[in-house]
A and B are shown apart, each in its own frame.
Chain A
């Protein structure tokens, strides 16, 4: 009897999924939408962060790629005024960059009006846009953007819950793209290329800020980084050099404890929030505590993915370190033992883990095995030729 029930359950799930698919297609004007397959990567999370209102379609992703790179998102065709997502999120740098911008005005933590970093730098460090699909524990350094977020604003229809929220804020925020939205919609709407792209993605050529946001978000969700040496080592298809192997064993050792925060799945982060002993006196007000209102989480920030970390200087939530060597030195000799420091930190009472010179090099060599060189020139992520002089290309 249990088997019969099991098989019927399977039939119902399959039928329900098919029905949902048909209903989804029926609810759009574009009958030929093609599902964009979510990449199921070995050792990567199976759970993906993709809201039901914005499923991936090949047409939506293609439109989003154009918009991501289109400098006219600024609302101007003046070549000196072009600005788009790609201005700061540069493919050759793993869709990050060393560009620091002022925190966004008028929005809460993350892009916030009170958004100064620690030491009052008042900076927002560009975060790399990789593997965001696989993070279900909040975006930004403090996880402010999350589905449970109840913070509301009149000018953001979808609230502060999704990747879409970040794209939306980025387009309108004075400190990011600072778009003249009305002009931008007119410019995009007058471009014949976009007319066909919008028809393909949405069934008609109506161009709205919301549609632009949804399409860009779709494209960003497709950006994955998994083609790195350590990934293939874990698959068993390559071996590490002696130095990399020693670095790997250090990284995953009790002595350094790096893996407790920067491992789990092969996204090389737990996406959890930790106070890493960076500061004694906590001055920033955009830490995890600003989100949870738990004073015990003052000075805590999300452990970043270490994939492509060699490309993603500056480091730490406030960009205080310019090189990976400086980061290793910090954990080796310069951590600060505050009452709020996470217990997973090693060497808390000794200033750090005290690696010698050779060990630091081994660890650094291991960190370089986390660079995905393929994605840096993957044409499916690149600036479309059709954008011509308006496309923001790597400098």
Chain B
């Protein structure tokens, strides 16, 4: 019985190997690498060596965030969605293995003008409790603060800054679904804070069967400037219930990312 089953298994493998996938052989491979920089240098964690645009000295403990819906824009302006519709990738400065991924289905050969992605998770995909395994599950956003379309933080950037009292204070620069409150501090609605990122200088040519590496850099200092000089002394360390703070982050976020094609 054991050998019969083994024979069937081998037979299936042989049959499978007879099929070729011309489309995939033709396609190229696009690999992504994520880096986190301050002033052009890789971040140095747990060291109070940075100063933001508002003048707050700060240190970074860790950065954890989601990227989703990666797509390419070709020379004709056509958008090619690269990831599956449920594809959401978690990135963690403490987990180097999360800094890389490869587009599994390959990329059609051709000229591409731009890489685009969603910072965070679109509301319709951001279902509460959809992640049950860590580390993604640890990004949970409280249900009453995000509703049915706000299940998870888009980003947790944790660290410390020297506050106006000259004390080393923790900050949880967390962004996710914001809330609107009435005069009695009751939540009356939600605000989606995810946004689309278009990476300039990310044009490339994918040869047939070729390999391209796209290095995406999060330039951390840009979270704190342009158009808003984000001031920790104004917003304090905890901002999940502060849509004004998250609104500033969202506005600043559009030029946080850059790309280098290898």
- A interface with B by C-beta (< 8 Å): 1-2, 4-5, 8, 11-12, 15-16, 18-19, 22-23, 26, 43-47, 136-137, 234, 249, 252-255, 257, 259-260, 263-266, 270-272, 296, 337, 339, 341-346, 348-349
Contacts and interface: CB of A to CB of B under 8 A. Distances in A.
A44 B134 CA distance: 10
A45 B134 contact: yes
Interface footprint category on B: 35 or more
A8 B12 contact: yes
B167 A349 contact: yes
B134 A259 contact: no
Interface string B91-102: 000000000000
B169 A348 contact: yes
30 contacts: A1-B21, A1-B23, A2-B21, A2-B23, A8-B16, A11-B16, A16-B9, A23-B2, A43-B132, A45-B132, A45-B137, A46-B132, A136-B134, A249-B144, A252-B143, A253-B142, A254-B172, A254-B240, A264-B134, A265-B134, A265-B137, A266-B129, A271-B134, A343-B160, A343-B171, A343-B172, A343-B237, A344-B172, A348-B169, A348-B170
Contact of A343 (B1, B15, B133, B159): B159
B172 A19 contact: no
Contacts of B138: 264, 270, 272
B21 A270 contact: no
A260 B156 CA distance: 10
B13 A12 contact: yes
A272 B46 CA distance: 18
Contacts of A271: 134
Interface string B1-13: 1100110110011
A19 B5 contact: yes
Contact of B158 (A23, A296, A344): A344
Given A234-B129, A271-B134, A348-B169, 9 more contacts: A19-B6, A43-B129, A136-B134, A252-B143, A253-B241, A254-B240, A257-B172, A342-B61, A343-B237
Interface in B103-149: 105, 129, 131-134, 137-138, 140, 142-145
A301 B58 CA distance: 25
A344 B157 CA distance: 10
B140 A263 contact: yes
A337 B21 CA distance: 60
Given A254-B238, A264-B137, A264-B140, A22 B132 contact: no
Nearest to B159: A343
- Most A Cβ at <10 Å: residue of B23, B134, B160: B134
Contacts of A345: 170
Contacts, number: 108
Interface of B: 1-2, 5-6, 8-9, 12-13, 15-16, 19, 21-23, 46, 61, 105, 129, 131-134, 137-138, 140, 142-145, 158-160, 163, 165, 167-172, 237-241
Contacts of A343: 61, 158-160, 170-172, 237
- Most A Cβ at <10 Å: residue of B15, B61, B138: B138
A12 B16 contact: yes
A1 B22 contact: yes
A296 B46 contact: yes
Contact of B9 (A19, A46, A249, A253): A19
Contacts of A18: 5
Contacts of B137: 45, 264-265, 270
B126 to A, nearest CB: 16
Contact of B241 (A12, A22, A254, A346): A254
- Most A Cβ at <10 Å: residue of B137, B158, B163: B137
Contacts of A137: 134
Contacts of A5: 19, 21
Contacts of B6: 19
Contacts of B131: 265
Contact of B145 (A15, A252, A272): A252
B210 to A, nearest CB: 20
Given A1-B23, A264-B134, A15 B140 contact: no
Nearest to B173: A343
Contacts of A259: 140, 142
A15 B11 CA distance: 11
A304 B132 CA distance: 17
Contact of B12 (A15, A22, A339, A344): A15
A272 B94 CA distance: 12
B144 A252 contact: yes
Contacts of B5: 18-19, 22
B203 to A, nearest CB: 28
B153 to A, nearest CB: 10
A270 to B, nearest CB: 4
A23 B3 CA distance: 10
A257 B171 contact: no
Contacts of B15: 8
